[in-house]
């Protein structure tokens, strides 16, 4: 007799999850062995041409898997074009990089690895260096059994991607609130969440719950000469368009925007309040139509920032290994 | 077997969740806080709100909440933002139900549901709530019925990036866009009255959205009348750029059916089928910007285009009842001969009646609670007289509550009965709709509505509208959807 009630309760509980569950993670699910190998590679400067840089150089565990710089520093101190994005939840993105040119993690990891102004690896040289390290020989063979050519660029990419797929952030105080734990957010943070979902701000339209990003390219009008997506798509209408970054762990990853031009979350909120690019003289026709001045009190702006700070969850923060198989020195933090 | 299932369910239930608290019915009285009630309500609860004014912005993040305004005659609870609060209601719990409220004077929006599965919004009276009146976004299985939405600076009812929506029996007037179906699939928009907006009903694909398409939407049996209000929206927004005088516009959407609508007196364009402009589609190469497979069937689109906006004048050489811009595949149109067509000539819908039957039987409507939809056997222009019998059907429903009325006007078989009524000062008159068609009681002279003092909601069958006349005089009124028919206009109440 109680079955209908139970079924209804179950249905209700399931229905309430709509929009709060992360999408399925695309690509191969990470095996622990592959992720462990990926972690070693991630921290190992052997990946760079001169043994001076690793992935962790820019994606620092103590900086929200970003680097705290406006624009990244690459090979021999080269100042790169753009701000380093966090790796938290990168695994959920259908397209990666600010200009969205990569469509899988495996594809993406090769871009900084081989870019001349980043790790600048020479593929053949890199594979030879890895093969010369007995620990890597053993691990690649164990992780990719039956692969006669276990130490390959593809397997390096797979391992790094598997590691990145462990960098999941979805246990913030916001997530506890979303599961019904009301007191997980303070009154100010809850008010910030309400503002985030208000039609006065429209933050939620592009930074969609629960990933707080969206598979979209658009322009909010941060002034720069950067062509963004249009350099990839060839469409001049997409000039200054960029992918929508996640806001997960955003409090850890200042400064902000593709060029790191905004130092704090307060600056970001102020930028949007003033009308984004409109206030900087970018014509409305070049901007997403939701970009316009936002009428908001200072107290509301503070609440919005407070909410953004409640999106922090570093439970998947990777441990820095004590040493890496190549024996090269790890970077000073 | 049953007990084994039960054990399994219990284990699952206890293992995954703490056993949910039982749903409750919570009563909120005037002067109390609705939000406080929402916060203590277990999932599945009903919150009943008594008439009164509530200066609150509501957030519903709990599953299965019903907000039920207790309506008694003209009295109902009013959510009033007083021009200070941002949004009337933000709901994210699934499902979500709301009825019987007035929502007014918010800066951002009236009622929005975000990522909700199962949205039921009914009998909401929404006025001056910023960008949108009702805005389900990224939601699915939506019903928006019997709502009235006015003075909205973008779209009165806006369904965005959603799936499966029924938008029916609503009155939208004095907005920039009356109803907008945008990047949404399988919306069924019928029996709405859209008048005095800048544009009546829009089915759009726009760039910069995650959902890149608008497919299989149906717009039928609506009244789309004199939508000639100058655009007062944000000039930088796409809707803010619409010319005034637009009836129904299909832009970039696919497999849209526009059927059996009355489209009259829109000064620029009655029905249009166009592509998304190139400068917009260039921003989003993943989007297909042409309107394909549009079927425009049996619409009574006449008398539009008499005072076109310069944009329409320039593009099409004058105002029009129907225009196609010549883009897209598989579009067709069947119209009365008297309809004025412009743009690129578009061929008739082949096998139209057969197709129409199939589409009408499409069965996508989830709205079991909605009244049976009236389907006229032929275009309304030619067949009103013979259709009258079909409009009035004896009902088994309990008789409507007419208590407290000093006089009753029945709206029956497409006429006010009696059409002319005399009452004493102070009398309360009740109108009751006996037809399957929807009607209104709206102040106005001949064919021009003035909306005061009589302004009923869109009344469905059995619905009663009351008005107390405290001043002497002659009060003329009309039915918005049917004012073209003499029995449904120039009706009077004379107060002695």
DSSP 8-state assignment for residue B449: E
pLDDT band (50, 70, 90) for residue B4: very low
Residue B304 sits in the same domain as residue B436? no
A8 pLDDT higher than 80: no
B77-80/B407-411 β-pairing = unpaired
Task: Give the range of the structural domain holding residue B447, as residue numbers without chain letter.
Answer: 407-495
Residue A190 sits in the same domain as residue A227? yes
Indicate the number of domains in chain A: 2
Residue A158 sits in the same domain as residue A181? no
Residue B348 sits in the same domain as residue B423? no
pLDDT band (50, 70, 90) for residue B351: low
From B329, B346, B381, give the residue that closes a domain.
B381
Domain contains A324 = no
Count CA within 13 A, CB hemisphere, residue A15.
25
Residue A126 sits in the same domain as residue A187? no
Residue B428 sits in the same domain as residue B359? no
Domain contains B55 = no
DSSP 8-state assignment for residue A185: S
Residue A104 sits in the same domain as residue A228? no
Residues of B in contact with A237 (CB under 8 A): 279, 282-283
Residue B310 sits in the same domain as residue B429? no
From A164, A186, A221, give the residue that closes a domain.
A164
Q: Which pLDDT belongs to residue B120?
A: 97
A16, A216, A284 ranked by CB distance to B93: nearest:
A16
B20, B57, B132 ranked by CB distance to A194: nearest:
B57
Q: At what angle do helices A298-309 and A187-196 cross, to 10 degrees?
A: 100
Task: Give the range of the structural domain holding residue A234, as residue numbers without chain letter.
Answer: 173-309
Domain contains A22 = no
Residue A155 sits in the same domain as residue A201? no
Residues of B in contact with A217 (CB under 8 A): 284
CB contact under 8 A, B283 and A218: yes
Residue B468 sits in the same domain as residue B418? yes
Domain contains B107 = no
CB contact under 8 A, B63 and A12: yes
Domain contains A230 = yes
Place of tokens 């309760």: A9
Place of tokens 């102020």: A270
Residue B6, min C-alpha distance to chain A (Å): 6
Beta-carbon contacts below 8 Å between A and B: 125
From B363, B381, B399, give the residue that closes a domain.
B381
Residue A260, min C-alpha distance to chain B (Å): 23
Q: Which pLDDT belongs to residue A93?
A: 95
Query: Long-range contact list for A320-324, CB < 8 A, 24+ apart?
Result: A320/A43, A320/A56, A320/A61, A321/A39, A321/A40, A321/A43, A324/A40, A324/A43, A324/A44, A324/A45, A324/A46
Q: Which pLDDT belongs to residue B2?
A: 39
Residue B437 sits in the same domain as residue B303? no
Domain contains A223 = yes
CA angle B156, B157, B162 (to 5 degrees): 150
B397 vs B98, more confident:
B98
Which domain CATH number covers A222?
Answer: 1.10.760.10
Residue B210, min C-alpha distance to chain A (Å): 6
| Mean of all residue pLDDT scores within chain A | 92
Asked if the peptide bond before residue B158 counts as cis, ω within 30 degrees of 0, the response is no
Range name among A15-24, A31-40, B350-359 with the lowest pLDDT average: B350-359
8 A C-beta contact, residue A277 and residue A221: yes
Residue B335 sits in the same domain as residue B187? yes
Domain contains A9 = no
CB < 8 Å from A in window 128-187 of B: 130-132, 135, 137-138
Residue B293 sits in the same domain as residue B149? yes
Beta bridge partners of B65: B96
When computed from its CA atoms, the radius of gyration of chain B, rounded to whole angstroms, is 23
Residue B246 sits in the same domain as residue B307? yes
Residue A144 sits in the same domain as residue A183? no
Which domain CATH number covers B411?
Answer: 2.60.40.420
Beta bridge partners of A102: A96
Q: What is the ipTM of this complex?
A: 0.91
* For B41, nearest residue in chain A (alpha carbons): A180
Residue A190 sits in the same domain as residue A215? yes
B81 pLDDT higher than 50: yes
From A125, A146, A164, give the residue that closes a domain.
A164
Domain contains A315 = no
Residue B461 sits in the same domain as residue B359? no
Q: Which pLDDT belongs to residue B281?
A: 94
From B333, B363, B381, give the residue that closes a domain.
B381
B10, B61, B237 ranked by CB distance to A289: nearest:
B237
CB contact under 8 A, B63 and A16: yes
* For B6, nearest residue in chain A (alpha carbons): A3
Beta bridge partners of B60: B91
A260 vs B370, more confident:
A260
Q: Which pLDDT belongs to residue B384?
A: 30
Residue B309, min C-alpha distance to chain A (Å): 22
Residue B226 sits in the same domain as residue B355? yes
**Chain A CB within 8 Å of residue B16 CB:** yes
**Chain A CB within 8 Å of residue B54 CB:** no
A198, A233, A284 ranked by CB distance to B108: nearest:
A198
From A138, A164, A190, give the residue that closes a domain.
A164
Q: What is the pTM of this model?
A: 0.84
Above pLDDT 70, what percent of chain B? 86
Residues of A in contact with B277 (CB under 8 A): none
pLDDT band (50, 70, 90) for residue B99: very high
Domain contains A89 = yes
Write the pLDDT tens digit of every residue in A248-298.
999 999 999 999 999 999 999 999 999 999 999 999 999 999 999 999 999
> Both ends of chain A: CA-CA distance in Å?
63
In degrees rounded to 5, what are phi and psi of residue B166?
-110, 120
Q: Which pLDDT belongs to residue A332?
A: 58
Write the pLDDT tens digit of every residue in B214-253.
999 999 999 998 899 999 999 888 889 999 999 999 999 9
Indicate the number of domains in chain B: 2
Residue A131 sits in the same domain as residue A194? no
A16, A218, A241 ranked by CB distance to B94: nearest:
A16
CB contact under 8 A, B9 and A204: no
In degrees rounded to 5, what are phi and psi of residue B388?
-60, -40
Domain contains A275 = yes
In degrees rounded to 5, what are phi and psi of residue B51?
-60, 150
- In a mutational test of the A interface, the residue from B18, B63, B233 whose CB has the highest number of chain A CBs within 10 Å is B63
Domain contains B167 = yes
Residues of A in contact with B284 (CB under 8 A): 217
Domain contains B121 = no
CB contact under 8 A, A6 and B16: no
Residue A304 sits in the same domain as residue A185? yes
């Amino acid at each position: 007799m109680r079955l209908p009630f139970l079924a209804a309760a179950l249905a209700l509980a399931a229905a309430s999850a709509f929009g709060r569950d992360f999408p399925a993670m695309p690509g191969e699910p990470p095996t622990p062995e592959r992720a462990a190998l990926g972690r070693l590679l991630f921290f190992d400067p052997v990946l760079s041409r001169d043994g001076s840089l690793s992935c962790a150089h820019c994606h620092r565990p103590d900086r929200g898997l970003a680097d705290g710089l406006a624009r990244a520093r690459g090979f021999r101190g080269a100042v790169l074009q753009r701000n380093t994005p966090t790796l938290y939840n990168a695994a959920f993105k259908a397209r990666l990089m600010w200009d969205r040119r990569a469509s899988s993690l495996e594809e993406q990891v090769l871009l900084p690895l081989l870019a001349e102004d980043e790790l600048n690896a020479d593929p053949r040289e890199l594979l030879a260096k890895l093969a010369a390290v007995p620990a890597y020989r053993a691990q690649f063979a164990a992780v990719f059994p039956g692969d006669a050519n276990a130490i390959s660029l593809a397997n390096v990419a797979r391992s790094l991607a598997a590691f990145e797929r462990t960098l999941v952030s979805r246990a913030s105080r916001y997530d506890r609130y979303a599961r019904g734990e009301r007191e997980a957010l303070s009154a100010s943070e809850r008010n910030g969440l309400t503002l985030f979902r208000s039609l006065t701000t429209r933050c939620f339209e592009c930074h969609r719950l629960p990933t707080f990003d969206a598979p979209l390219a658009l322009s909010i009008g941060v002034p720069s000469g950067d062509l963004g997506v249009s350099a990839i798509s060839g469409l001049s209408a997409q000039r200054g368009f960029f992918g929508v970054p996640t806001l997960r762990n955003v409090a850890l990853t200042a400064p902000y925007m593709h060029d790191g031009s905004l130092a704090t979350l307060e600056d970001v909120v102020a930028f949007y309040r003033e009308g984004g690019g409109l206030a900087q003289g970018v014509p409305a026709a070049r901007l997403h139509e939701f970009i316009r001045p936002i009428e908001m009190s200072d107290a509301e702006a503070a609440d919005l920032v407070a909410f953004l700070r409640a999106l922090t969850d570093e439970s998947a923060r990777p441990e820095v290994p004590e040493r890496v198989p190549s024996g090269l020195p790890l970077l000073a933090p | 077997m049953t007990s084994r299932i039960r054990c399994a369910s219990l284990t699952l239930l206890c293992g995954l969740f703490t056993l949910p608290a039982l749903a409750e019915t919570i009563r909120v009285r005037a002067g109390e806080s609705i939000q406080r009630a929402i916060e203590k309500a277990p999932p599945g609860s009903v919150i009943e709100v008594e008439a009164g004014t509530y200066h609150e912005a509501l957030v519903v993040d709990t599953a299965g909440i019903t907000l039920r305004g207790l309506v008694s005659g003209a009295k109902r609870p009013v959510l009033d933002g007083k021009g200070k609060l941002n949004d009337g209601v933000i709901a994210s719990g699934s499902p979500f139900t709301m009825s019987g409220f007035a929502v007014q004077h918010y800066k951002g929006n009236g009622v929005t549901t975000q990522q909700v599965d199962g949205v039921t919004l009914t009998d909401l009276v929404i006025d001056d709530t910023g960008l949108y009146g009702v805005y389900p976004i990224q939601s699915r299985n939506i019903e928006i019925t019997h709502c009235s939405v006015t003075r909205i600076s973008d779209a009165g009812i806006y369904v965005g990036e959603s799936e499966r929506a029924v938008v029916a029996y609503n009155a939208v007037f004095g907005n920039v866009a009356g109803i907008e179906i945008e990047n949404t699939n399988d919306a069924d928009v019928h029996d709405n009255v859209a008048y005095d907006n800048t544009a009546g009903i829009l089915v759009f694909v726009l760039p910069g959205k995650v959902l890149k398409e608008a497919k299989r939407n149906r717009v039928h049996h609506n009244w789309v009348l004199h939508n000639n209000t100058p655009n007062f929206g944000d000039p930088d927004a796409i809707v803010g750029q619409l010319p005034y005088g637009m009836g129904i516009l299909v832009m970039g959407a696919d497999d849209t059916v526009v059927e059996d609508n009355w489209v009259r007196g829109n000064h620029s364009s009655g029905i249009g089928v166009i592509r998304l402009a190139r400068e917009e589609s260039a921003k989003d190469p993943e989007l297909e910007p042409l309107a394909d497979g549009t079927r425009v069937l049996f619409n009574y689109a006449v008398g539009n285009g008499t005072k076109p906006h310069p944009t329409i004048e320039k593009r099409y050489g004058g105002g029009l009842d129907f225009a196609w811009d010549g883009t897209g595949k598989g579009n067709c149109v069947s119209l009365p001969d008297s309809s004025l067509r412009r743009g690129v000539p578009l061929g008739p819908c082949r096998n139209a009646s057969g197709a129409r039957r199939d589409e009408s039987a499409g069965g996508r409507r989830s709205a079991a609670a909605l009244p049976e939809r009236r389907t006229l056997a032929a275009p309304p222009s030619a067949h009103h007289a013979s259709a009258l019998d079909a409009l009035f059907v004896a009902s088994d429903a309990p008789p409507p509550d007419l208590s407290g009325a000093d006089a009753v006007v029945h709206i029956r078989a497409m006429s006010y009965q009696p059409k002319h009524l005399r009452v004493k000062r102070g009398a309360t008159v009740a109108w009751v709709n006996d037809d399957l068609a929807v009607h209104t009681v709206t102040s106005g002279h001949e064919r021009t509505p003035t909306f005061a003092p009589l302004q009923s909601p869109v009344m469905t069958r059995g619905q009663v509208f009351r008005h107390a006349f405290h001043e002497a005089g002659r009060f003329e009124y009309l039915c918005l959807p049917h004012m073209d028919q003499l029995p449904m206009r120039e009706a009077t109440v004379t107060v002695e």
